[in-house]
Chains A and B, each alone.
Chain A
Amino acid sequence: MTTAGGTPLFLLEFGDIVISFTPYTTSLFILALVFTLLVIASRPERQLDIAFGTDAYMTKEISLSEMRFRRFMAIACGLASMGAVVTGDLFDFCLFTALVGICNVGIVAAVKSRHVQNAAYQYGLVALAATVLLFGGSAMVAATTGTLSLPILATGTLPAVPLAVKAFIVIGVMGEGMAPFYAAKAEMFRAPGAPYVIMCSLSSLLIFLRVIEVVVQL
């Protein structure tokens, strides 16, 4: 059985849910794992800001309680990303993707900055709206083919999934933080705490890379 990501190196079965490690998904999984370990091991940087019109500059410090909360959300985001890139079930993929969106908001939720909070709120609205397309697309795949299992869908023996349904799923994932919807998210990167903020862009990128494989084999 060959999928768009290559021949599976091994399959991990949980009942009827199969976790599929192809060369492609394994590469993405390793990257998500490496960055999650970095989140655990790294301390946040102290961001410098120049006071406009003067020679002065300020250093932003992150309090311990804020750091703990954001690190927890970043680790949760890493775990959700790992789940999204290796799952062999379309519904689970959508679920992990929605979880990534929630965690992204959580990563910056404790930052005490009006700009960051506004950006997180707007991004949250876009991500929330995107889940409708995401789960709607997933439901339509089930209605068309009778299954949500990605390895079975990749066999090509089932009825073809309409192009509009594939577009629903892709737009749903894009709503979780890819172009052009990242515009809502860009201000979130003003927040200090590089190891945690970086998970916001990494997780969106990983789920976008995975959805390409998913859509190609539908």
Chain B
Amino acid sequence: MIGDLLYLIFAMIFGLLLLGIHRKVIARIQRRPGPPVWQEILHALKFSFKSTWIPQTASDTLFVSVVLIAIGIWTAAFFVVLAGGNLLIIFGIYMLHKIVEHGFGLSSGSPYGKFGGVRSVISAASEIPLFVSVAAVVIFTGSLEIGDIVAWQEQAGPLILAVFPAALAMYVVILSKFPFSPFSIVESKEIVSGYKTEHFGVWRAGLEACNGLKTYVLLLTFIAVFFGPLPFLLILLAMILITVSISFICAFSPMLSPFDSVTIQTLFTGLMLIYVVYLGVYG
């Protein structure tokens, strides 16, 4: 029990470190010094001790509880992955994160937060490729349990070789949730910080911790589902490598307009749906 809690705290901190590495790599590619790699951890700590308030116009209960829900769902996702649980639950939690963003944005009454929340809802097409990944994995392994999928790979080798497009689909899903990605329209600078504009102090610290945990869980799921069983240190190394590859994409791509972002995600979703129908019929 205590071991699990310590691992949970480690996952939050390591996830924040990955986001720090992400910022550093982008900065170095763009020939800027960039912040230190532990900057995101410092951010979370800094916000923990800043003054905390609830805007006068906010829906108080929703404003506060949405932070707890965000931490709650990703903690649940973390333990589901550790227990080798159902991939559909991870898929569900990932989709529900959209509701969390929506709640963050709308609860304050701020127009910037509202725009962030509404952008989160209109980019709903970005989640469907994850469903395609899940479907392709089930067609090959015959199971939705992460434990079974990892065991299948022990016998048959990494799944990424068998269903590369499905791995690519999940990679794009992870990319779309990283800050500064071409698809991160929910927190772009023309709407200040988007859905998280009005959450300061302890609420923001909670959100930062949730983002760290979310990053760790998504990368852990990706590695478990497509690379199979790996030693712990190799998992951490793989997480760093995937993060660096995402940083390269983010550094070289401008942030898309909301319309272009949704259009590209919808086109990608269409291609992935054709792939999974092909797998279902001929696979």
A31 in contact with B96 given A42-B62, A46-B57, A182-B122 (CB within 8 Å): yes
What residues of chain B lie closer than 8 Å to A213, measured between beta carbons?
Answer: 88
Chain A interfacial residues counted at CB < 8 A: 44
Q: In this complex, what residue of A is CB-closest to B270?
A: A180
Cβ of B89 and Cβ of A24 under 8 Å apart? yes
**Contact residue among A45, A183, A201, A208 (Cβ-Cβ distance under 8 Å from B107):** A45
Q: In this complex, what residue of A is CB-closest to B83?
A: A23
Query: What is the bound-complex CA distance between A190 and B106, given in angstroms?
Result: 10
What residues of chain A lie closer than 8 Å to B56, measured between beta carbons?
Answer: 46
**Residues of A13-61 contacting chain B, CB below 8 A:** 23-24, 27-28, 31, 34-35, 38, 41-50, 59
Q: B245 at interface (Cβ–Cβ under 8 A)?
A: no
**B265: shortest Cβ distance to chain A, in Å?**
9
**Residues of A79-114 contacting chain B, CB below 8 A:** none
Chain B interfacial residues counted at CB < 8 A: 48
What residues of chain B lie closer than 8 Å to A189, measured between beta carbons?
Answer: 102, 106, 117-118, 121
Cβ of B121 and Cβ of A49 under 8 Å apart? no
**Contact residue among B69, B98, B109 (Cβ-Cβ distance under 8 Å from A34):** B69
Q: A125 at interface (Cβ–Cβ under 8 A)?
A: no
Cβ of A198 and Cβ of B280 under 8 Å apart? no
**Contact residue among B92, B108, B118 (Cβ-Cβ distance under 8 Å from A186):** B118
**Contact residue among B60, B85, B266 (Cβ-Cβ distance under 8 Å from A43):** B60
Query: What is the bound-complex CA distance between A70 and B122, given in angstroms?
Result: 23
Q: A133 at interface (Cβ–Cβ under 8 A)?
A: no
Q: B81 at interface (Cβ–Cβ under 8 A)?
A: no
Cβ of B62 and Cβ of A202 under 8 Å apart? no
What residues of chain B lie closer than 8 Å to A190, measured between beta carbons?
Answer: 118
Q: B114 at interface (Cβ–Cβ under 8 A)?
A: yes
Query: What is the bound-complex CA distance between A216 and B134, given in angstroms?
Result: 11
**Residues of B219-275 contacting chain A, CB below 8 A:** 266, 269
Q: In this complex, what residue of B is CB-closest to A202?
A: B99
Cβ of B114 and Cβ of A47 under 8 Å apart? yes
A198 in contact with B111 given A38-B61, A43-B59 (CB within 8 Å): no
Cβ of A23 and Cβ of B111 under 8 Å apart? no
Query: What is the bound-complex CA distance between A190 and B114, given in angstroms?
Result: 8
A27 in contact with B57 given A186-B122, A189-B106, A194-B107 (CB within 8 Å): no
Contact with B along A183-197 (1 / 0, CB 8 A): 100100110101101
What residues of chain B lie closer than 8 Å to A208, measured between beta carbons?
Answer: 95
Cβ of B99 and Cβ of A201 under 8 Å apart? yes
Cβ of B124 and Cβ of A48 under 8 Å apart? no
**B87: shortest Cβ distance to chain A, in Å?**
10
What residues of chain A lie closer than 8 Å to B117, measured between beta carbons?
Answer: 189
Q: In this complex, what residue of A is CB-closest to B126?
A: A179
Cβ of A47 and Cβ of B109 under 8 Å apart? yes
Q: A212 at interface (Cβ–Cβ under 8 A)?
A: yes
Task: Name which of A27, A31, A195 has the most chain B CB atoms within 10 A of its CB.
Answer: A27
Q: Give 10 A-B contacts (CB < 8 Å), ordered by A residue.
A: A24-B89, A38-B65, A42-B59, A45-B58, A48-B57, A182-B122, A189-B102, A198-B62, A198-B102, A216-B138
Residues of chain B touching chain A, judged by Cβ–Cβ distance below 8 Å, are 56-63, 65, 69, 73, 76, 85-86, 88-89, 91-93, 95-96, 98-99, 102-103, 106-111, 114, 117-118, 121-122, 124-125, 128, 131, 134-135, 138, 144-145, 266, 269, 280
Residues of chain A touching chain B, judged by Cβ–Cβ distance below 8 Å, are 4-6, 23-24, 27-28, 31, 34-35, 38, 41-50, 59, 163, 178-180, 182-183, 186, 189-190, 192, 194-195, 197-198, 201-202, 205, 208-209, 212-213, 216
Across the A-B interface, the 9 shortest Cβ-Cβ residue pairs: A194-B106, A45-B59, A45-B109, A42-B61, A46-B57, A179-B125, A179-B124, A209-B92, A42-B62
- 6 more contacts with CB within 8 A, not counting A4-B88, A48-B57, A180-B266, are A27-B76, A31-B73, A38-B61, A44-B59, A47-B109, A194-B109
